[in-house]
Amino acid sequence: MPSCISFKLATIISFRFDCIVNYSFKGVVPAVVGSQVANDFSLMAGHKLKQTSLRLRNPANAPDEWEKKVLKKLQSSGYSKGVGFGETLETENKKIYRYMKPICAEKACLECHGEKNKIKPAIKHFRERKYPGDQAFGYKEGDIRGGISITILLEQLIP
C-alpha cells in the first residue's frame, strides 16, 4: 500500500477517536461496547469495522473468508504475535484495503473467555442464555482470540 494511503488511513483511524467519547468502559461488556463503537465508526467514516473470531460467541460477528484466512495466519506459530496484517485487494472492480489487528487475551478477558469451569456463575448463565452456541472460551492469557477487521474502499481515500 502506498505511503500516502497509509498516512490517510492512520489519520482517519486516529482522527475518529471522537466517536468513542460517548462510551464509558468501566463495568461494561467489552464486546457490546466494541460492537457499538464499530457500528458508529462504520456509519461515521464509511468504512466497515468489526470484531470477529474463529471461535464465536455472537454469530453476527462471523468472519468472512478473508477474515478466516487472516485469523489463521495471525494465530500461526510462524507469525509475529500481536502484529496486524493488511493488503490491497480488487473486488467487484473496486480496490479495497483490508486490515486486521489481533485481539490478544489479557487477564481481564479470561473472566468471560477463560476456562469454562472457572467462569463466574452469573457470567456463565448470561452467556448460555444470550449465546447458546457460544464457543468463545478456553483461552489463556496471551492467546489470540480474534481480531478487529477494517475494510476501506480506496476510492474514498484517493481523490
User: Containing H/E element for 144?
Assistant: strand 144-153
pLDDT of residue 36: 79
CATH number at residue 104: 3.30.450
Cα(67)–Cα(72) distance, rounded to whole angstroms? Answer: 8
CB 67, CB 101: distance < 8 Å: no
User: Containing H/E element for 34?
Assistant: helix 30-45
**How many folded domains does the chain comprise?**
1
Q: Tell me: the pLDDT tens digits for 33-61?
A: 777 788 887 788 788 889 999 999 989 89
CB 116, CB 86: distance < 8 Å: no
Domain carrying residue 48: 3-156
Cα(43)–Cα(81) distance, rounded to whole angstroms? Answer: 30
Q: Tell me: the pLDDT tens digits for 68-114?
A: 999 999 999 888 888 999 999 998 889 999 999 999 999 988 988 99
Find the range with the poorest average confidence among 11-25, 27-41, 120-134: 11-25
